[in-house]
Amino acid sequence: MALVLEFLILSLSIFLLFLLIKRNRTPKKACLPPGPVGLPFIGNLHQLGNSNLHEHLWRLSQKHGPLVYLRLGSRPALIVSSAKMAREIMKTRDLEFCSRPFLAATKKLSYNGFDLAFAPYGDYWREVRKICVVHVFSSIRVQSFRSIREDEVSRTIEKISKSALACKPFDLTTEMVSLTSTAISRAAFGKTYEIGGSDTERFLELLVETQAMASSLFLSDYFPCWGWLADKLTGMTYRLEKNFEAFDAFYKRIIDDYLDPNRPKPEREGSTILDILLQIYKDGSFKLQLTLDDIKAILTDIFLAGTDTSAITVNWAMAFLMKNPEAMRKAQEEVRGLFGNKGFVDEDDVQQLSYLKAVRNRTPKKACLPPGPVGLPFIGNLHQLGSSNLHEHLWRLSQKHGPLMYLRLGSRPTLIVSSAKMAREIMKTRDLEFCSRPVMTATNKITYNGLDLALAPYGDYWREVRKICAVHVFSSIRVQSFRSIREDEDIFLAGTDTSAVTVVWAMAFLMKNPEAMRKAQEEVRGLFGNKGFVDEDDVQQLLYLKAVVKETMRLQPTVPLLIPRETTKECSIVLEFLILSLSIFLLFLLIKRNKTTKKACLPPGPDGLPFIGNLHQLGNSILHEHLWRLSQKHGPLVYLRLGSRPALIVSSAKMAREIMKTRDLEFCSRPVLTATNKITYNGLDLAFAPYGDYWREVRKICAVHVLSSIAVQSFRSFREDEVSRIIENISKSALASKPFNLTTEMVSLTSTAISRAAFGKTYEIGGSDTGRFLELLVETQAMASSLFLSDYFPCWGWLADKLTGLTYRLEKNFEEFDAFYKGIIDDNLDPNRPKPEREGSTILDILLQIYKDGSFKLQLTLDHIKAILTDIFLAGTDTSAVTVVWAMAFLMKNPEAMRKAQEEVRGLFGNKGFVDEDDVQQLPYLKAVVKETMRLQPTVPLLIPRETTKECSIGGYEIPTKTLVYVNVWAVGRDPENWESPFEFDPDRFMGSSIDLKGNDFELTPFGAGRRICPGIFIALFTVELSLANLLHKFDWEMPSGMNREDIDMNDVLPGIAPRMRDDLCLVPKAYATGHK
């Protein structure tokens, strides 16, 4: 027996020695970042004993540098403590660093990584992320919870007011946790669990215990072979299992209530995050089929990430402000100066508080970054993580070792990042490599084995969960829907304690800094002094208050140590290699660009071919329909690569709002494309000019003088004259019972009306010089909508354009149109020309007067005038004509709508010979017909492409700078999320509706929105509505002999700026006799 025991001891000793030698040799072969020497077996675990771990790691970074390597037990760890290294990890090398480690706690809590935050990087994570970005956390969804945030803040303010009256101390820490937890629970499932409420104690106990488990050290994470036994012996496993089961039962009760068909109907159906997730669960509209465990995991993310974080940030901010009276004074002066008489500062107001935002941003910054402390054998640096303030301990280490510090926690390597430079590297530049989550015992348990969003490892599951959360749970609309709850408490989307603790920190800082407190109070009281409650709109005006929040988050970030990431593969962050890269930059420019694009967190899209990308997939003539089908597969944001140019296709109202309103400044420029750049005299126009000082000046000229309401009204007689002329032509066809070509005549009407408004001449069909003018116009439109390879392959595409003859066609067309303009302008400048009937009555007159006066900052040249005139003809000829033709085609195929429209106009103006523009304003059904036409067949289905002015993020995706952005308003108009029976022509849907065409309602934006909205919108609407009213008033319409309504083919469309039916619309008019029934 003794011999056997000795043999076992010897064998075990040899095995352990082998493991130790193997472990020690492996790091030496690799070029690892610097770090403190660890002990055998435990590595650097013993060096993490300081409670403020982030400070300890920061001190290590001070000694070892921005990258510090540690060995935590059997796991290598990298500590990043500089912005440069953070950029490498989170941007440049993001794909290699974007996964999450499987840690015992987070894996359990996230239902085995079925969430978004802790899921490892992969297909699953991408799908979950897509769900969350599009449905749960989109800007629209976030805004829908706004009322909840403002309600909850209002409730807290009322409590503070009572304490103020009684001159009693107010516990900001407790109340901020109550605020955030209540607001999040309202947003998540419409119930409150505030302090003193029903089921509150159990809910908060579960929440606190879950947070404790998620942040606890489980030895099984660092010593996989035996750590699980230690966790069992220490009781950690039992605590985790018990907490997980309790929270799972809590979720089950909530979900069962929601799924109960007999439950009372909520005030707002589909208004909570759980509503959204359950709807996706039932619909199965995503590639990932959500399960109830997935939903529970995502909800766990929300509560874990959002409770303490926001609350703590506020607390830190208040504490900093209290310790810094001058900052307090500035913050209060800002908010009170703007909203002194307002009772409540709402979210819109807060956007005006630049100083307050600075307070928020400046609250947490403690890092420089080093290589790593020495660890102990076997446990590495685990023994150094014993203190509760782990972030401070790591910060102190980073002060010693540098901004990137490596630790070894048992068997797990760990990287501590303690500088903005290194954080940028990890979370942006190299994000894909660092974006996964480790599977931790506690978090894995409480998230149902990683079924949540925050703790799930990166992959397909996480992407799907993230998509669900972004689209349905945290979209701006959803956030706004909870505004009433927030104005009782508050919500910061990350969870319960987070927001509460932030408020407490902010108040603590303010109390420690009386001057900052004074400034913050003076600001809010100055703006809203007489207002009983500062709501979310008011808050946007409190610049100093926002600065207080920023400063609080700088000094006391809600989560000092971000949820740990896990590298998806072996990678290096060696900045010295950049020197070598630069030496061969020109040779590998294209490869580098392509690789960078792939590493970015881009929207989904179809796979492209090498070199040409997705250009081969755009061969379909009906491009907007093809892109719509892509959006049905990939989502509302589709990423394409057109040669060397990135492109973004937008196919939902939510994303269109983000781009054309919320993030308009970043998406408002125009790309420089070969054709449009040439015909607009190198971008000297308004429609195609890139965003900048020049565009703003041209826009001012057009808005004040050319397209102002006064100028538009001055052209009214031209429009009414041309419509009257068309009515006379139709009357002749009616007398002869001959078909009338509406398509041709409407183009004649619009081109003639515009030419009269532009320079007082007519170019109608059959008139002098007509043929040449219309030929030029048609060719210019063809050039503007043609594909030039030089736009997508700058290096060689110009040669292909020359060989195909496109360059020659473009140059020829430009020269002929330029000569045409020159002749017109010379006539206007000729002092001996015959005096016109109305001096200064045309657009050319106006522009030439500005050209002579020089009254604007921009000195107009004749080329500017020609470019602006080109805009007017390109945008105003086919567009209005095609809309009238589409409307008549829809009415012919829908007799009931035709009857209603005719009865309306004839009932009001039956005895009147002509319906003028004033009369049209009394025709709501006719206006509904126009709206419904523009919904189903917008004049320009793909709005003029925009271009991003800088790298930005939308819907959770990174959009590269210089990305072409196409808003597919044709797809938006047929989105079942926005429209009931979206493919049916039903003008009644707009009767009594406030939806207009002016860019305010993103479900219907045929003229665009934001800075780039079509400036000629009112001219177009006047022309379309006036023409349609008189066509319906004066005539009944029939199909030509041998044809019926079904013969109108609305699916066969000719491509172009304004796509139209391939076959002209020819109808037989019948004169309507007054008094005819």
Q: How far is residue 496's CA from residue 208's CA, in Å, rounded to a whole number?
A: 10
640-652: string of b/e by CB count within 10 Å (b at 16+)? Answer: bbbbbbbbbbbbb
Residue with tokens 């935050």, as numbered in its chain? 117
Neighbours of 820 (CB within 10 A): 17
Q: How far is residue 60's CA from residue 824's CA, in Å, rounded to a whole number?
A: 75
627-630: Cβ within 8 A, 24+ apart: 627/651, 627/942, 627/966, 627/968, 627/971, 628/968, 628/970, 628/971, 628/974, 630/605, 630/606
Find out whether 1014 is annotated in a ligand binding site: yes
Q: How far is residue 408's CA from residue 400's CA, in Å, rounded to a whole number?
A: 17
Q: How many CA atoms lie within 13 A of 501 on its CB side?
A: 20
Q: How many CA atoms lie within 13 A of 891 on its CB side?
A: 27
Q: How far is residue 758's CA from residue 777's CA, in Å, rounded to a whole number?
A: 14
Token duo for residue 634? 């990939």
Q: How far is residue 678's CA from residue 813's CA, in Å, rounded to a whole number?
A: 10
Determine how β-strand 1053-1054 pairs with β-strand 439-440.
unpaired
Determine how β-strand 964-967 pairs with β-strand 645-650.
parallel
CA distances from 615 to 57, 608, 840, 969 (A): 49, 8, 48, 21
**3-class DSSP state for residue 768?**
coil
- Nearest Cα to Cα of residue 520 among 656, 314, 329: 329
Residues 116, 121, 122: CA angle, nearest 5 degrees: 105
Residues 6 or more apart from 663 whose CB is under 8 A from it? 952, 954
- Report the greatest alpha carbon distance in the chain: 126
DSSP, res 564: P
End-to-end CA distance of the chain: 115
In contact, 444 and 104? CB cutoff 8 Å: yes
Supply the DSSP string of 310-363, one letter for each residue.
HHHHHHHHHHHHTT-HHHHHHHHHHHHHHHBT-SB--HHHHTT-HHHHHHHHTS
1067: left (phi over 0), alpha (psi -120 to 50) or beta: beta
Q: How far is residue 773's CA from residue 756's CA, in Å, rounded to a whole number?
A: 13
483: left (phi over 0), alpha (psi -120 to 50) or beta: alpha
Q: How far is residue 468's CA from residue 450's CA, in Å, rounded to a whole number?
A: 16
- Nearest Cα to Cα of residue 130 among 438, 467, 359: 467
Binding residues: 1014
Binding residues for heme: 1014
